[in-house]
Amino acid sequence: MTLYTADRPSNRQVVEGELISACAVSAANIMRDLREHITNTFGGQMKQYENLVDETIERALARLEEKAREKGYDGALAVRISHPSVVEGGVEVIVYGTGFKYSVDEAPTHLSVHTPESD
C-alpha cells in the first residue's frame, strides 16, 4: 500500500478512483492534560501534545491505507493531512486522498511505443 502526496507517481501509470478519507481522534489523559495546562501557563514546549498529535496522524494515515485496501486500491494519491487541532485535551486529524490502481497495460512513460501502423 502506497500513499503519495504527489498527484501522480513519477514512474507508473495509474487509474484514479474515488476520494478516500479517514479520521482519528485521540484524548489526552487527565495527567497529561494537567501537565500541558501548566506548561501553557508558564510557557514552553508542549511535548505531550506534540507526541499525541504525531501518534494521531500516524493512526489516521494507517486508517486511510486500510480503507484504500478495503476498496481494492493500490494506494492513495494527493494525500493531505488536515490541520490537526488540540481542543480541550483531544486531537482530531482528518486525512484524505484519491484512491488509485496501477494500470495493468501501462507502457513505460519514458519510451515511445512504435507500431508498424505508425510508419
Reported as a single tens digit per residue, the pLDDT across 69-113 is 999 999 999 999 998 877 777 889 999 999 999 987 654 444 333
pTM score: 0.75
Q: Which residues have C-beta within 8 Å of that of residue 62, sequence separation ≥ 6?
A: none
Average per-residue pLDDT in the chain?
A: 81
- What is the DSSP secondary structure assignment for residue 117, as one 8-state letter? G
Q: Which helix (H) or strand (E) holds 34?
A: helix 30-42
Q: Which of 4-8, 27-31, 85-89, 110-114 has the lowest mean pLDDT?
A: 110-114
Grid cell in block for residue 110: 519514458
Domain 2-118: assigned CATH number: 3.30.110.70
48: three-class secondary structure by DSSP = helix
